[in-house]
Structure 1
């Protein structure tokens, strides 16, 4: 056992501050409709750190049914682990802040290509098949219903318009067509499956024995969470005590930060592609990464036990709902603020049955993995070099952490701190896969079509593959075009005219995270309005697609 069960009353307020960071990141960071929240990138390093001998749970805590969760001894056991996570997250977040606002990430973009981003994002979702399968496996019938409804609403009924009553000043009460299934496929599927589980629970169609198959589909299995949660609780920095720091934890979470940065870069490009926006320019990427670092720092200060990053799940939701709006993200953040501060509301969502969550995970994680793989569209996949880099990175990203988790004793070097660092890094799937992808992509030479006409086929004299082969040429062309377009200036400029109408000092051009004034036109400078819609391969808006204003 590597972690303690934290009382629900202590966890719900954390969501409010994570969602608050999402509002800031959407408005001031990359300017894309991405929700910021707790990241899976920190889960593996956190579990690896907590699996060290110093953080092994005491024997008396292993049987949760015999533990008094309100006792001071138990409270101290889980809070000291939260304090350790709190401290290392705050230190590691400073690395992300520095990388973002210094412009270093923009400089490194020339070395980070699709063959680095693709395995990193894919390995965020692929290792979670075990968790998603276990959750769905608690009742495959309910999970299948959830999956069926999501697929039905998002894919088959997405162009079906539903008449909805609308009240306006001119037409008063009237009906208008609304693409309900396209906008709310996940929410509708969740509510219907949740209601089905409630009916089956009330009628006792689901087993009442905790050990019976299907028990986790009942809606009353977590009724104590709702009763124990406070009506109102306002979180504050240092609520768990003074944070602590250990070198192994800092290195491990820093690896998670690096994975989160690479993941976020891929998320920015994926989000822009899904909502029809041009690829983000370098200043938007720098600013987005820096704001995410600030979000991690605040999350650590408030003691959430996790950092924040761009939600790849939100990217998956964008691909399903086809709604890409900053205002939607701000509204979602406000809802999460209410859920976090008012404990009863947040706790009510904890009663969602496990197989419903598992069914949603199977869809969402599959889309995340596909979003990662979709970055390979810029790469020449006829090249055996690229096939090797991607395949080897993915497979080692799954195999190495699995072996290290099963054989932790094989990493003993005689230096405890070094052992801990290796343990954390090598059990983080995204770090292993992303690092191998980055290393191989930047060192393996190319053997391109331009050399095949020779009698021999010597590799090019460069120390790495050609930009065309690696997909960097296409990326750089798209990136340069997005830097110059008025459309990009409208989307990625700071809000309220900052940097265009206000704060336009000549010194700001040296700030790597500041919009470039020369890229703005003479018209509406710094505009925030842009209509986006789903597009087909020819670039035309799909019939019935929901138009979105950013």
Structure 2
């Protein structure tokens, strides 16, 4: 949408070194684009809400199959190769190091347990097994790569000249961002002004919404298959698409510049980490989980498919699917 000639950036904004980002003229240039995107996202999200909560997506499942989902997800993902290649091309050595560490942690060290100190009511302070490489392979790889870049930056191994290859791999190239950012900021609806709506923008975002809905259906089934759960029923898919549309509506109102949807890359992360338990968002991953019934084993990936009594207490004879 923003690639249309009417939204082409003015010539005086192309040279970043000569632009005063705090000037009212520059602020208005980017805020009016955000307002246009806001309006298009909010209108298009109403279409997704209607399709989801009306049950239409459940009816369309008769026509949405692997031959429909696979090309859609591929077409959505293919444009990301340019961004990934450009970002990785900043320094191919660091990029390959990060990929190597992710593969090493997620595929070869995943079953190695790391002893960590924990505290429990019965055993008080003791050590317990934590599958660190299984739960945090991506995060660990990123942290190690960043620390490696930090060492190379401090020792000036990376070039100091901004135009030299490898300069962007330095950890101090954007250090001023932290000093300039406010400590607290509270976003609110309409923070960039009153959203604007154009026909071209709305139809462009609706096309993205349609592909997003098809992709989300594939993500739902992929998640269910990865965790060993049964395929999601139609009413669950209807609710999921409707809630995604509601999230897009709120995102448009707040002016985030994007919508909300299920992310295929997160499904891939689920397959890498094999960590999909709902309790990880309620209990710290290094804390002994009560549903292990005294086992000193934490951080093991599992999806608990169980029933609860009317009091909310978990039934111990429920089935657990371990990944």
Using the size of structure 2 for normalisation, the TM-score is: 0.88
Separation of aligned partners in 2, 1:316 and 1:115 = 20
2:62: which partner in 1? Answer: 110
How far apart, CA to CA, are the structure 1 residues paired with 2:275 and 2:138? 13
Deviation at 1:67? 0.3
Matches within 5 A, 1:251-266: 251-266=203-218
Shift of 1:530: 6.3
How far residue 531 of structure 1 moved from its aligned partner, in angstroms, is 3.1
Corresponding residue of 1:307: 259
In the superposition, relative to structure 1, how do residues 98 and 216 fare at CA in structure 2: closer, same or farther (>3 Å)? same
Classify the secondary structure of the residue corresponding to 1:164: strand
The reply on whether 1:161 has 2:85 as its aligned counterpart is no
1:236 partnered with 2:161: no
Provide structure 1 residue ranges, at least 5 long, that are not aligned to the other structure.
1-48, 333-486, 502-523, 535-550
Question: Against the structure 1 CA distance between its residues 133 and 202, is the aligned structure 2 distance closer, same or farther, given a 3 Å change threshold?
Answer: same
The answer to whether the Cα contact below 8 Å between 1:93 and 1:257 also exists between their aligned partners in 2 is: yes
Q: What residue in structure 2 maps to residue 505 of structure 1?
A: none
SS of the aligned residue for 1:309 comes to: coil
**Which is further off, 313-322 or 295-304?**
313-322
Distance of 1:311 and 1:178 partners within structure 2: 27
User: Aligned partners of 2:90, 2:282: CA distance in 1, in Å?
Assistant: 34
Aligned equivalents of 1:330, 1:250: Cα separation in 2? 39
- Equivalent residue number for residue 239 of structure 2: 287
From 84, 93, 107, the counterpart of 2:36: 84
Alignment partner of 1:146 is 2:72: no
**Greater helix content:** 1
Q: What is the total number of aligned residue pairs between the two structures? A: 300
Give the C-alpha shift of residue 331 in structure 1: 8.5
Matches within 5 A, 1:115-130: 115-130=67-82
> Conserved in 2, the CA contact under 8 Å of 1:324 and 1:532?
no
Root-mean-square deviation (Å): 2.2
Unaligned runs of 5+ in 2: 285-304
Q: Measure, in 2, the Cα distance between the counterparts of 1:123 and 1:95.
A: 22
Matching residue of 2:143: 191
1:171 to 98, 101, 123: 123
Q: Is the 8 A contact 1:209 1:215 kept in 2?
A: yes
Q: SS in structure 1 opposite 2:78?
A: helix
- The corresponding residue for 1:217 is 169
Contact 1:322–1:533 (8 Å) recurs in 2: no
Q: Say whether 1:55 aligns with 2:7.
A: yes
Cα distance change of structure 1 residues 329 and 312 upon mapping to structure 2, 3 Å threshold: farther
1:210-240 deviation line (CA, Å, top 9, x unaligned):
1101011101111121111100000000000
Structure 1 contact 275–532 (Cα < 8 Å) conserved = yes
